[in-house]
Amino acid sequence: MSTKLVFSNAAIENLNDSNASLEAIGEAMNDQYDEVANPNGIMNLGIAVNKLQEEIILKKLNSINTVTKKDLEYNTAFGTETLRTNISNMINKNFNPVNPVNKDDIVVTNGATSALDKLASVLCNPGEAILISSPYYSVFETDLNLVAKAVVHNVPVPVSEIQSPVQVRYYQKKLDELNGKGITTKAIVVCNPHNPTGKCYSRAAVEAILEFANRNKLFVIMDEIYALSVFRNTESASDLKNDKIKHAGDLNDAVGTYSDNKYEFESVLSFENLSELIDPSLVIVLHGLSKDFCLNGFRVGWVVSPFNKQVVTALCKIAMFSYQAGLVDSIISKLLGDTEFLDSFNVILRKNLLESYERTTTYLNNKNIKYVPSQAGHFLWINIQPLMIRWKNNNLRKNQFRITSPSELTFDDDMEMWLSVIKDARIYYTAGVNFKSDEPGWIRLIFSQPWDFLKKGLDRLFDYIEKESNSIPQIKSKI
């Protein structure tokens, strides 16, 4: 019997869409490096986890983890009152909202991933567009598409402009293009602090995006999942309105580094002028446990929608499909209720991120590898074009010629080198091509890992890229 006769169009579309990036993540997860048990496993420098405080959070969780009769029963699909109250308290304490967020403004889901899927199905009909500036966290594409069938359209924004209000012109261009094709655009996702560059948006940039969204009646999903992982703040934020930021073309300054403009993270919930910029009912915030609490595996995220109660109601209607375990609800309720612990945990988390960032950037500086200085999150957006040129020249195929300039690199080179590194060097990083980088030769590296592990991984990665090699994998080959 033909598959076409059995499955829905949506399932067939998903089956036919082979995603090399997701396959590689699966491979990296299934064959993870362990110094003793699996020394030939894949070292994961690509998935955004913060392993720097594992012992502290483990100890805390084990001290509060007792299963009670209540945990054996069904509870509230969108999060118990206690959990939502404690989440709202945590937000009120850390996100500086203009008006306190209430438990009824919050819908808990099993991860921000699930929240994005649910939001896409609430906001969009299949085929409708969601704009996201690229480079972006590539999983947005699948989160918003696999079930809801909303389609992410990337808006290439040069990394030099990610903090600047002038980026709105790229959104406008994309919107006009989609309008011209008869495609309805429903929303923008803005990730602040930004994955993969680790930059905080300037207030001016967020305001400009909100005004653009308002003019065009677009929802704005502010993904603030790294809100509490800002480890380098601004000393003297230059005023973007005076346009001090560098623009594409003069990204490299005289000493060959990328702009280190730093801004305070400002949650959109804290904008006292929000209603002057946008109809607030268009604004929705996302946060969760995975990044700021180092609990990816718990699968807990939440939507904060104080300005649009209908979004909350619509999400609650489908909440049984993103129900988190009762036990997780009760453990996390207790964790988030312990504000003293959370405060000291957050200080340690930021300190550890800064320390690891400094070690990693010193390592890269010593190798003369350029990167975009980051402020937040777990990652660095690194330019490896000179190394990729070298790698390509060491692995030339028949009828290929030596190259000398980054402009001769292609996204096929990005993909080939990435697959080759996973397969032969046993290192998983994120290739720029998967994050819709605007040029080949960029990677995202996760530095929030113990230095012993990270150093070994970096040595392995750069030794491999630099070494002479004649083997080259096919793009479509299974990893």
Ligand X SMILES: Cc1ncc(COP(=O)(O)O)c(C=O)c1O
Q: Which is nearer to ligand X, 19 or 296 (CB)?
A: 296
Q: Please state the φ and ψ torsions of residue 34, each to the nearest 5 degrees.
A: -140, 130
Tell me if 145 contacts ligand X by CB under 6 A.
no
Cβ at position 377, least distance to ligand X in Å: 8
Cβ at position 145, least distance to ligand X in Å: 15
Among 79, 97, 158, 301, binds ligand X (CB under 6 A): 301
Segment interacting with ligand X, rule: CB under 6 A, options 110-118, 251-259, 417-425, 440-448 = 110-118
Q: Which is nearer to ligand X, 32 or 216 (CB)?
A: 32
* Residue 228 near residue 289 (C-beta atoms within 8 A): no
Any idea what the Cα angle at residue 137 is, between residues 160 and 233, rounded to 5°?
Answer: 50
Q: Please state the φ and ψ torsions of residue 177, each to the nearest 5 degrees.
A: -60, -45
Segment interacting with ligand X, rule: CB under 6 A, options 111-119, 328-336, 446-454, 458-466 = 111-119
Tell me if 290 contacts ligand X by CB under 6 A.
yes
* Residue 248 near residue 114 (C-beta atoms within 8 A): no
Q: Which is nearer to ligand X, 111 or 473 (CB)?
A: 111
Among 159, 191, 210, 277, binds ligand X (CB under 6 A): 191
Q: Where are the beta strands (DSSP E) in 11-156?
A: 43-44, 106-109, 129-134, 151-156
Residue carrying structure tokens 């988030």: 336
Segment interacting with ligand X, rule: CB under 6 A, options 70-78, 105-113, 393-401, 412-420 = 105-113
Specify the long-range contacts of residues 97-101, CB closer than 8 Å, at least 24 apart.
Answer: 97/267, 97/269, 97/270, 97/306, 98/269, 98/270, 98/271, 98/272, 98/274, 99/306, 101/269, 101/304, 101/306
Both tokens of 274, joined, read 């929000």
- How far apart, in whole angstroms, are the C-alpha atoms of residue 121 and residue 464? 43
Among 111, 158, 432, 441, binds ligand X (CB under 6 A): 111
Tell me if 288 contacts ligand X by CB under 6 A.
yes
Q: Which is nearer to ligand X, 335 or 389 (CB)?
A: 335
Cβ at position 191, least distance to ligand X in Å: 5
Q: Which is nearer to ligand X, 49 or 151 (CB)?
A: 49
- Alpha carbons within 13 angstroms on the beta-carbon side of residue 181 total 12
Exposure string over 115-124, b if 16+ CB within 10 A, otherwise e: bbbbbbbbbb
Among 195, 214, 259, 375, binds ligand X (CB under 6 A): 195
* Residue among 125, 130, 47 nearest 377 (CA): 47
Q: Which is nearer to ligand X, 140 or 462 (CB)?
A: 140
Tell me if 152 contacts ligand X by CB under 6 A.
no
* Residue 200 near residue 194 (C-beta atoms within 8 A): yes
Give the sign of the dihedral formed by CA 90, CA 93, CA 97, CA 98. positive
Cβ at position 112, least distance to ligand X in Å: 3
Q: How many residues bind ligand X (CB under 6 A)?
A: 13
* Residue among 424, 425, 400 nearest 412 (CA): 400
The site map against ligand X for 38-57 (x = CB under 6 A) is ----------x---------
Among 137, 171, 371, 429, binds ligand X (CB under 6 A): 137
218-237 positions binding ligand X, by CB under 6 A: 223, 225
Mapped onto helix, strand or coil, the DSSP state of residue 376 is strand
Give Dmax (Cα) for the chain: 69
Tell me if 112 contacts ligand X by CB under 6 A.
yes
Segment interacting with ligand X, rule: CB under 6 A, options 89-97, 108-116, 146-154, 415-423 = 108-116
* Closest residue to ligand X using C-beta atoms: 111
Segment interacting with ligand X, rule: CB under 6 A, options 57-65, 106-114, 427-435, 454-462 = 106-114
Segment interacting with ligand X, rule: CB under 6 A, options 109-117, 118-126, 342-350, 351-359 = 109-117
| Paired strand residues for 190 | 222
Specify the long-range contacts of residues 141-144, CB closer than 8 Å, at least 24 apart.
Answer: 142/19, 142/22, 143/113, 143/116, 143/117, 144/116, 144/117, 144/120, 144/189
Cβ at position 196, least distance to ligand X in Å: 8
Q: Which is nearer to ligand X, 114 or 333 (CB)?
A: 114
Q: Please state the φ and ψ torsions of residue 220, each to the nearest 5 degrees.
A: -120, 115
Q: Which is nearer to ligand X, 21 or 214 (CB)?
A: 21
Cβ at position 475, least distance to ligand X in Å: 25
Mapped onto helix, strand or coil, the DSSP state of residue 232 is coil
Mapped onto helix, strand or coil, the DSSP state of residue 108 is strand
Tell me if 79 contacts ligand X by CB under 6 A.
no
- How far apart, in whole angstroms, are the C-alpha atoms of residue 353 and residue 429? 18
Cβ at position 48, least distance to ligand X in Å: 4
184 secondary structure, DSSP code: P
Tell me if 113 contacts ligand X by CB under 6 A.
yes
Q: Which is nearer to ligand X, 392 or 444 (CB)?
A: 444
* Residue among 219, 196, 225 nearest 282 (CA): 219
Both tokens of 468, joined, read 């002479």
Cβ at position 399, least distance to ligand X in Å: 40
Q: Interface with ligand X by CB under 6 A: which residues?
A: 48, 111-113, 137, 191, 195, 223, 225, 288, 290, 296, 301
